[in-house]
A and B are shown apart, each in its own frame.
Chain A
Amino acid sequence: MIEFQGVSKWYGTLKVLKDISATVDKGTTIVLCGPSGSGKSTLVRTVNRLEPIQEGTITVAGADIYAKSVNVNTLRMGIGFVFQQFNLFPHLTVIDNVMLPLRRLHHQSRKEALPTALLMLERVGLADKAHALPADISGGQSQRVAIARSLILNPEVLILDEPTSALDPEMVSEVLKLLRQLSGEGMTMMCVTHEMGFAREVADRIWFLKNGELTFDAKPLVFFSPEAHPDVRGFLSAIQKNH
């Protein structure tokens, strides 16, 4: 579904992604983890060209995303993206946020878009908040709306960049529950997160990044075992100390 081949990226002289090659199979969930500054956010942001790369190729569904024939806006319509800070549009109600891609990208009328958007809100359990403004709902609810909005055009891939890091602890589980459900439905997902319980339970593979390098790519069973890369074991024990 997604293939990275020799991907490198520099900010000026600083090399932030180093020759990354890896594959995301269709219908699988990849969890990316690693210390801050390791390049995991940058890596997921390259998939919809929010971050340009200087070397290597990235293909999504078989197409090179930098090919001349690929329109960046069409590419992005096929990739849902969820941010740490939700980034709901504060001037629009919840339902209008979810409907915006249908109305402005698929050019549907409000009436046409409404049933689809309501169904999507039901799916994330927030139909009763349809007419609330983003300022009037909680962080966990905001993130679920943001996920609904990112799914409304039926993307083939869902990318989540630390979706629970900005949430109060009691709201993390409601978002993880939704992601678990999506993963179970066969959504192809790449999720940057520090939630190791979620990674162990939901991920098909876990990628560990350090200093811009993909140093370890394994199934959870191996990732959490003593055979894991020493960097991974160091990282896991550091995380556990904080919990």
Chain B
Amino acid sequence: MGYQLDFGKVLRGEYLDLILQGVQTTMVLFVLSWVFGLVLAIILTVVRAIEFRPTQLLVAAFVEYHRNVPVLIQLFVWYFGFAVVLPDGVNDYLNDIGAEIGYAIVALALNKAAYMSEDFRSGMRSIHPAQMEAARSMGLTYLGAMRWVILPQAWRLALPALLGQTLILFKGTSLAAGIGVAELSYQARYIEEQSFRIFEAYGIATAIYMLISFAIMWLSAVLSDRFRLRVK
């Protein structure tokens, strides 16, 4: 078949730089989406826990949209859809500072927030209602009881699921290539097109994704064990 494998060609010079830039962009996407997603998830969880129907329905609608529409479409909605409703001046400014990665972080963070808030919610459901009652009976406010008693248990109970979401998010960053974010998958594709080293380019991207995924899985196992909530 005449195709000679040559990893060296892809692993030096300009191509190596592109791969390293790609890894860096992937990590920026991953970390920022994770942080924003987690913060929003906590807010969604608390809002949904408050017995007020309209806001509960709003959170439910948010969750269902993000769980039932493909992530790629969510990215398109932000990058192509949202941009057209903004004034030109704003779009020009956003494009100058890097609209693609900004929209990608927003889309991935919102998506992850929906899933993580559901994980928190199922964590909270497995906490006995008497815990809230005990917290309130000592004089804590509702939010105080949430902050000091319910959420610290909820996140421990939700931790294994949250870590699973973390791994899914890490792999999901590759979808941002679909709106032109120059992360690792995008760079692999670019290198493949430029060098015709198709197997090598994707092979190296695969190896890097696996390496980081395994690191996340290992960390997940350690954390899940360390923070396991033991209830009698």
Query: Measuring CB to CB, which residues of chain A are less than 8 angstroms from any residue of chain B?
Result: 48, 50, 73-77, 81, 83, 85, 87, 89-91, 100-101, 104-105, 133-135, 142, 149-150, 153
* Interface membership of B148, Cβ < 8 A: yes
A77 touches B138 (CB 8 A): yes
Alpha-carbon distance between A50 and B137 when the two chains are bound, in angstroms: 7
The total of Cβ contacts below 8 Å across the A-B interface reads 64
The contact string, 1 if C-beta is below 8 Å from chain A, for chain B 133-154, is 1111111110010001100110
A91 touches B153 (CB 8 A): yes
The contact string, 1 if C-beta is below 8 Å from chain A, for chain B 87-131, is 000000000000000000000000000000000000000001011
Give, as a whole number of angstroms, the nearest-CB distance from A110 to chain B: 13
A90 touches B229 (CB 8 A): yes
**Nearest chain A residue, comparing its CB with the CB of B132:** A87
Known: A50-B133, A104-B144. A89 touches B153 (CB 8 A): yes
Residues of A within 8 A of B144 (CB): 104-105
A90 touches B231 (CB 8 A): yes
A133 touches B230 (CB 8 A): yes
* Interface membership of B48, Cβ < 8 A: no
Q: Which of B130, B139, B148, B153 contacts A87 (CB 8 A)?
A: B130
B139 touches A73 (CB 8 A): yes
The contact string, 1 if C-beta is below 8 Å from chain A, for chain B 212-232, is 000000000000000001111
Alpha-carbon distance between A87 and B152 when the two chains are bound, in angstroms: 15
* Interface membership of B156, Cβ < 8 A: yes
6 more contacts with CB within 8 A, not counting A50-B136, A74-B139, A89-B153, are: A76-B139, A87-B130, A91-B156, A91-B229, A105-B140, A134-B232
Give, as a whole number of angstroms, the nearest-CB distance from A136 to chain B: 8
Known: A77-B139, A91-B229, A133-B230. A104 touches B148 (CB 8 A): yes
Give, as a whole number of angstroms, the nearest-CB distance from B12 to chain A: 51
Alpha-carbon distance between A75 and B136 when the two chains are bound, in angstroms: 11
Give, as a whole number of angstroms, the nearest-CB distance from B113 to chain A: 23
B133 touches A101 (CB 8 A): no
**Nearest chain A residue, comparing its CB with the CB of B135:** A89
Residues of A within 8 A of B139 (CB): 73-77, 101, 105, 153
A100 touches B148 (CB 8 A): yes
B230 touches A73 (CB 8 A): no
Give, as a whole number of angstroms, the nearest-CB distance from B114 to chain A: 26
Known: A91-B152, A91-B153. A101 touches B138 (CB 8 A): yes
